[in-house]
Copies of this chain bind each other. A is one copy, B any other.
Amino acid sequence: MNQQVLLHKRPQGNISSTDFSVLQTEMPTPADGEILIKNEYVSIDPAMRGWMNEGTTYVAGVALNTVMRAFAAGTVVQSNHPKFKIGDAVQGLTGAQEFAVSNGQNIDACNLALGPLSWHLGILGMPGMTAYFGLIERAKPQIGDTIFISGAAGIVGSTVGQIAKILGCRVIGSAGGEEKCQHLLNLGFDAVIDYKTENLTAALTRHAPDKLNIFFDNVGGEILDAALAHLAWGARVVICGAISQYNNQQFYGPKNYMKLVSARASMNGIIVFDFKERYPEAVVQLSEWLKHGQMQYKEHVVQGLDRFAEALNMLFTGANFGKLVLKV
């Protein structure tokens, strides 16, 4: 049998366990030109919250009572496809389920010499690519730039910060709680702001007296306003996410957006899929940095597909510490 997580209803606000149904279904059979993948890890990502909504943003929302869209990594267990053989490690958008049939489109081989399977959902996967291309192609860091990263203890934020350090930036991150903040300092961040206890504006003024050349935003809300008010001349604001707002019925609009004008700054965003052709370059570079100890990577593994809703909710309460994956 195949264990699957289906989107059962669309949440208004916070996610509840009844938004998903976990079912045992018939084992799927791959047709000609198809493969059967046994997923070992399912990635839990903030983007999933948007995928649960009706309508289309950069992709269409997941249809009700279909398998929840998810990146997953596993092993090919049957193959009727010339490009794949049994035992191949692969990852792709194969969904929150134990077994998936695929025609091989958008299924990528995982090179386990570069890192263990689950890493291909994290630092060597979509979030790592988001950090790499979001920073390098959208924020365009220069040596000596001061960068502020919100949600810096998350996989994207901590990867952005570590790459920025390697590239010669002064790196400031915000996170919730002493343990996460200490972790960021251990990763080499120059300064951290505990958003749960510190005044953002005062902390930014203290840690970035020459203001911010780059703001990389994973959080949105008031932290975005505080950062906008503190932009340096010619600053780049890269919007990656807005985890503080995804469960809100009404998005918080940044009241300080006119600071973009006076600071001669610009705001744009990162959609990782735009850089698909260049993933191999980033995967090799990130694995090199990891191998040489210039970067660290931390995972948070939750056991069992039936804990999907609980795990997804951890992203919004900040309960995870490290890249969140479900072990199937």
Contact = CB atoms under 8 A, between A and B. Distances in A.
Contact of A269 (B252, B256, B261): B261
Interface string A5-28: 000000000000000000000000
Interface in A79-104: none
A58 B269 CA distance: 25
A266 interface: yes
Contacts of A314: none
A257 B274 contact: no
Contacts of A271: 261-262, 264
A250 B253 CA distance: 12
A269 B264 contact: yes
Contacts of A250: 255
A267 B224 CA distance: 15
A251 B258 contact: yes
Q: Does more than half of chain A's interface fall in helix, strand or loop, or is it mixed?
A: loop
Contacts of A123: none
A220 B256 CA distance: 12
A257 B266 CA distance: 13
Contact of A253 (B58, B225, B262): B225
A19 B92 CA distance: 64
Interface residues of A, number: 28
A57 interface: yes
Contacts of A57: 262
A25 to B, nearest CB: 32
A265 interface: yes
Given A58-B261, A239-B261, A261-B58, A256 B251 contact: yes
Interface string A249-283: 01111111110111011111111001000000000
A252 B58 CA distance: 25
A257 B262 CA distance: 18
A256 B239 CA distance: 12
Contact of A255 (B251, B260, B269): B251
Given A252-B253, A253-B252, A255-B252, A270 B261 contact: yes
26 contacts: A225-B253, A239-B261, A250-B255, A251-B255, A251-B256, A251-B257, A251-B258, A252-B253, A252-B255, A253-B253, A253-B254, A253-B255, A253-B256, A257-B257, A258-B269, A260-B267, A261-B268, A261-B269, A261-B271, A262-B269, A262-B271, A264-B269, A264-B271, A265-B269, A266-B266, A266-B267
Given A239-B260, A254-B254, 7 more contacts: A239-B261, A250-B255, A252-B255, A261-B271, A262-B269, A264-B274, A266-B267
Interface of A: 57-58, 220, 225, 239-240, 242, 250-258, 260-262, 264-271, 274
